[in-house]
Amino acid sequence: MKVAVIGTGAVGGYYGGLICRSGVETHFLLHSDFDHVKEHGLVIDSKDGDFTLPEVNAYDRPEDMPECDVVLVGLKATANHVLPDILPHVIRDDGIIVLLQNGIGVEDRIHGIVPGATIIGGLCFLCSNKIGPGYIRHLDFGAVRLAQHRNDNTAAGITSKLETIAQMFEQAGISVMLAEHLVVARWQKLVWNMAYNGTCVVLAATTDQLMADVSAVALVRGIMEEVVEGARVCGYPLEEGFIDVMLEATKKMVAYSPSMKLDFEAGRPLEVEEIYRTPIAMARNAGFYMVRAEAVAMQLEFLDRRNRSSA
């Protein structure tokens, strides 16, 4: 099996590095740190054990990469506009694309690029940052929930291709959970992402700071309740007690700046469309208004425009 990694950052670099270390032939597409990685390889500091890949298959042009059986997309969803120029070069016609991205609706946009490919959503429960060229720091968690995409957004079930990808991840030491319905899994992840990603930006706080303040916890819980109700009115009810599970898990996390906060601090575009605007619109079309989430989204849009105009 040959694997391509598109986006060798905090997510793609970490999971791709583990898969490469396990012995799978892995090819990495890089941008700004291509020369560094080509010369020095990848370094991953991890709570589960540090390791270095001194030599990796590194490329700065997709045209130079071999066709692969599996493509891991670790790019931010804000960069998906570049995928039509990348994916056709790196994936076999009947290959598998694993989208390691936040938000909802991202798989629908990929299908038209490579219609013969199988698309799997990968929801990463990971605290990881890219702290330098070819240098990833894994802080906490690391599991991935995988679910296969269907064009009609119904449940695909546990397919043989889904099990193939799960086996590859598990052999690399990555904890895997399989889900029968991708859209339900996406809404579940949004419960955390919509509550914490934008709030950490707007309040300039880390997750532990939010969880230590009664008002911030009330805001976070209120947003979570909106997401759960949004999922329900859209036809994807989540299990009872899911909010409490998310809050308890966050209390136990290390002090963490979510990816959107790091993007904001670095002057990069924010994933407001995928994490906020799309689910807000889905819920509104079903008759429910996510007023707290809408307020956070508008603040994020203002901060994003101001941040990038002054960069």
The conformational region for residue 98 under phi > 0 = left, psi -120 to 50 = alpha, else beta, is beta
Query: β-strands 2-6, 68-73: how paired?
Result: parallel
Position 311 scores a pLDDT of 64
Angle among Cα 141, 145, 151 to the nearest 5 degrees reads 150
Position 310 scores a pLDDT of 80
Closest CA to 264 of 225, 296, 290, 237: 296
Q: What is the pLDDT along the chain (311 residues), one digit of tens a residue?
A: 999 999 999 999 999 999 999 999 999 999 999 999 999 999 999 999 999 999 999 999 999 999 999 999 999 999 999 999 999 999 999 999 999 999 999 998 898 899 999 999 999 999 999 999 999 999 999 999 999 999 999 999 999 999 999 999 999 999 999 999 999 999 999 999 999 999 999 999 999 999 999 999 999 999 999 999 999 999 999 999 999 999 999 999 999 999 999 999 999 999 999 999 999 999 999 999 999 999 999 999 999 999 988 86
Three-class SS state of 186: helix
Question: Active site residue: 76, 130, 189, 261, which one?
Answer: 189
Position 164 scores a pLDDT of 98
Closest CA to 293 of 275, 307, 305, 306: 275
Q: Where are the alpha helices (DSSP H) in 41-86?
A: none
Cα–Cα dist 171/158, whole Å:
19
Cα–Cα dist 289/281, whole Å:
9
Cα–Cα dist 143/63, whole Å:
32
Q: Is 2 a catalytic residue?
A: no
For residue 49, list its beta bridge partners. none
Q: Which residue's entry shows tokens 């929930």? A: 145
Q: Which residue's entry shows tokens 């911030």? A: 216
| Burial call 8-46: b when 16+ CB within 10 Å, e when fewer | bbbbbbbbbbbbbbeebebbbbbeebbebbbebbbbbbb
**Token digits of residue 273:** 């469309």
Position 109 scores a pLDDT of 86
